[in-house]
Structure 1
Amino acid sequence: MTRSDRSAEEVKARVEEYWDGRADSFDDDSQHGIHGDEQREAWLSVLREWTGDPPQRTLDVGCGTGVISLLLAQVGHDVTGVDVSTEMLEQAREKARAVDHSLEFRTGDAESLDEPDDSYELLTGRHLIWTLPNPETAVREWRRVVEPGGRILLVEGHWDFPEPFEGYEEIHDDLPLYDGRPPEELAAFLTDAGLENVEHDPLMDAVFWGQEPNYEQYVMVGDVPR
C-alpha cells in the first residue's frame, strides 16, 4: 500500500462525503441495520457480555446511524454518539426520537475528539478503524477520553476483496488499516498502542448480519491502564 500526497483532512473529507451519501439507505442492509428481534437480541447479548455493568458513561465513536448507540442505551448505558457524517447523525437522531431514548449525537472526528480527559468509562466503535487515515492517533485519543481502568470495544473484521469499495477507489491507499485486519493483528496493534488485557471473540453467526458473513468478523476489547 502506497500513501498518496493527500492530507489527512482531504482524506477525511472524502470519507465524510461517502458516508453522507450512504445515510438514507445504510440501515436497509441487514449487515448494518437491525432487522428483527432475533438479530437485536444477539447484539444485545454481545454488548451485555463485553461492556460491563450498566450504566457506563459511553462514547460511541463513528456511530453512523446510531445502530450500536441505541443498543447500548437499551442495555442501560448513558450514551453519546459521535460521527463525521452529519447525514448519518440525522438518521441516528430520528431513530432515537422514535423509540424515546435520551441519547446525544454530535459531529466529531474520531482522531481528535472534543471531549475532556477521562470523561468516559467505555468507548465503542463498529467498523470504524479501517476508515481512519491515522489509526494510531485515534487510539491514543480514545485512551485519553476513557478513564483509567475503562474499556475500549471494537467490532471489526478482515476482508481481502480484489477491488476497493465503491467510493474508496482513490483513497484506500491512504488508510493504513483498509481491508481490516485479522483479529490477532488488530490485537497486537491495540496492545502496541497501550491497551491492556486485549481479547477477542468471533461474530460469525449469521444472526448478527442477517446472512452468512463473507469475511471474518469479531468483537475485540482492551482496557485502558490504571
Structure 2
Amino acid sequence: MTAEKKWVWDDRYDYLRDTRDLYYNEDYLEFLVRIVWKLDRPVDMIDFGCGYGYLGLKLLPLLPEGSTYTGIDRSGELLKRARDAFQGTSYRAEFVEADLEGEVELDRRYDLAVCHALLLHLPDPVRTLGRMAGCVREGGRVICFEPHWIGGMAGHQSGEGDASEVVPLGVLQKLYEDGRQRTGRDGNIGLKLPAYFSRLGLRSVECRVSDKVNFLDPRSGERERQELFHALKQEGVGTMPGERGDFVQGLLDRGLSLREAEAQYEAERLYAERFQVDSPLAYAPGMKITFGTVGPQRIEGSFLKF
C-alpha cells in the first residue's frame, strides 16, 4: 500500500505563520470591519483556503459576538494547526478538508465568503470566485485579500539608494505575465479582481490596499530586528538567487534575453548582499482587498454546485 501523497502546503505552516503579519496593522482590519463593511450583527463566515485559520483568528475578535467561522482547505496538516489554534477559544468554528478545485457542494447560508492569498495559486480563479459567491446569502459579501505582485515589488526601498538597482520592475512584470500564460496562476490577480467581481454580477464592488509598511530599523532592539528580518527573508525579500548558470538558464527558458537574465541575476545578488539584519529597509506589500455584495441568485435549488 503506497503512502498518501502530501499536499504542497502541508509543510508551509512556518512560512505562513511568520509572514502574515507583514500585511496589516490591527487597527486597519478593525477599520474595515466596523467602518467600511459595517458588520454590526453576527455573521456566518466561510474561509476558502483557510490554512491554519489566519483570517478567522484575525476577524472573529472584531466581529459581533455570535459570529461563526467555517474553514475549508485541502491541507490536512494546516487544518490540524487550525483546530489547535481555535481549541480553548469561545469561537464557533468548524473545519472541512476538501479540494477547492474539485467538486464541492456548499449550502447558500453564509453572510461572508473570504479568502486570503488563495486565488493567485489557482489556474481558474474565476471558478472559485463563483463558488464563493454561490454560497453567500443575498446581501452578503465576498471579500478577497490577494496580492498584486508587481505593485508589491514597487514597495521595496533598501537604504537611500535607487530601488531600480535591485528591483527591475520591467523584467519582473514580464516574468509574472509569462508565469500566468504558462500556468494560469496569476500573482497580479489583486488588481484584476474588481473586474472579475463585476463579471460575476456582484454589486457595489470596491478595492482597498493594505496599510502596513514594514521598516527594518538598524536602531531598533535586537530581538525586534531579528524577528522582522526573519519574516522578510521568509517572504523572499533579499534572498540569494542561487547558482548563476542554473538561474540564468531558467530565465532564458522563460523567454528573457541573455542580457536580461544576467542583469536580473546581478540585481538579486546585489539585493541579497545589501540586505542584512542591520540594514535599513522599508517594505510595503500593498495587499489588495476586493469586496462586493451578492445580489439575487439566478441559480435554482438550495445547493449550488460548480
- How high is the TM-score relative to the length of structure 2? 0.57
Structure 1 unmatched ranges of 5 or more:
1-13
- Matched with 1:95 is 85
Confirm or deny: 8 A CA contact 1:158 1:182 kept in the other structure.
yes
* 1:94-118: CA deviation from partner (whole Å, max 9, x where unpaired): 11114443311111233443312x2
Letter in 1 for 2:295: P
Q: 1:179 aligns with which of 187, 192, 213?
A: 187
The answer for the alignment partner of 1:7 in structure 2 is none
Q: Tell me the distance in 1 between the aligned counterparts of 2:44 and 2:128.
A: 19
| Equivalent runs, 1:24-173 vs 2, <5 Å | 24-31=14-21, 39-48=25-34, 49-50=36-37, 52-74=39-61, 75-76=63-64, 77-111=67-101, 112-116=103-107, 118-160=108-150, 162=172, 173=182
1:223: which partner in 2? 293
The residue identity in structure 1 corresponding to 2:97 is: T
The alignment of Structure 1 onto Structure 2 pairs a total of residues equal to 200
* TM-aligned CA deviation for residue 199 of structure 1: 0.3
Residues 141-182 of structure 1 deviation map (CA, whole Å, 9 limit, x = unaligned):
1121111221101111201374989xxxx9993234x21335
Code of the aligned partner of 1:180: N
Query: What letter matches 1:204 in structure 2?
Result: D
- Check 1:221–1:31 CA distance in 2 against 1; reply closer, same or farther (3 A cut): same
Amino acid at match of 1:91: R
Structure 1 96/126 Cα, relative in aligned 2: closer, same or farther at 3 Å?
same
Give the 3 Å change call, closer, same or farther, for CA 51–175 of structure 1 in structure 2.
farther
Contact 1:51 1:122 survives alignment (8 Å): no
**In the superposition, relative to structure 1, how do residues 123 and 219 fare at CA in structure 2: closer, same or farther (>3 Å)?**
same
The answer to whether the 8 A contact 2:29-2:59 is kept is no
Residue type of the alignment partner of 1:78: T
Q: Relative contact order (C-alpha < 8 Å, sep 6+): which is higher?
A: 2
Tell me, in whole angstroms, the C-alpha distance in 1 between the residues paired with 2:30 and 2:74. Answer: 25
Structure with the larger helix share: 2
Structure with higher Rg: it is: 2
User: Where does the alignment leave 5 or more consecutive residues of structure 2 unmatched?
Assistant: 154-171, 215-227, 233-281, 297-306
- Measure, in 2, the Cα distance between the counterparts of 1:102 and 1:128: 23
- Aligned CA distance change for structure 1 residues 33 and 190 (closer, same or farther; 3 Å): closer
Change (3 A) 1:26 1:98: farther
Distance 1:30 1:60, change over 3 A: closer
Could you give the per-residue CA deviations for residues 119-145 of structure 1, whole angstroms, max 9, x where no partner exists? 111111111111112112112111211
**2:213/2:284 contact within 8 Å kept:** no
Instruction: State the distance in 2 between where 1:25 and 1:181 align.
Output: 21
Gap change, CA 1:67 and 1:133, over 3 Å in 2: same
1:224 Cα shift? 1.0
Q: Is the partner of 2:10 in helix, strand or coil?
A: helix
Asked if the contact 2:213/2:285 (under 8 Å) is kept, the reply is: no
In structure 1, what residue type is equivalent to 2:98? G
Question: Which of 205, 209, 212 is the matching residue for 1:198?
Answer: 205
Relative to 1, partners in 2 of residues 1:158 and 1:124: Cα closer, same or farther, differing over 3 Å? same
Alpha-carbon distance between aligned partners in 2 of 1:30 and 1:144, rounded to the nearest angstrom = 28
Residues 51, 139 of structure 1: CA spacing in aligned structure 2 closer, same or farther, 3 A cutoff?
farther
Distance 1:93 1:42 in 2: 26
How well do the aligned residues superpose, as a CA RMSD in angstroms?
A: 3.2
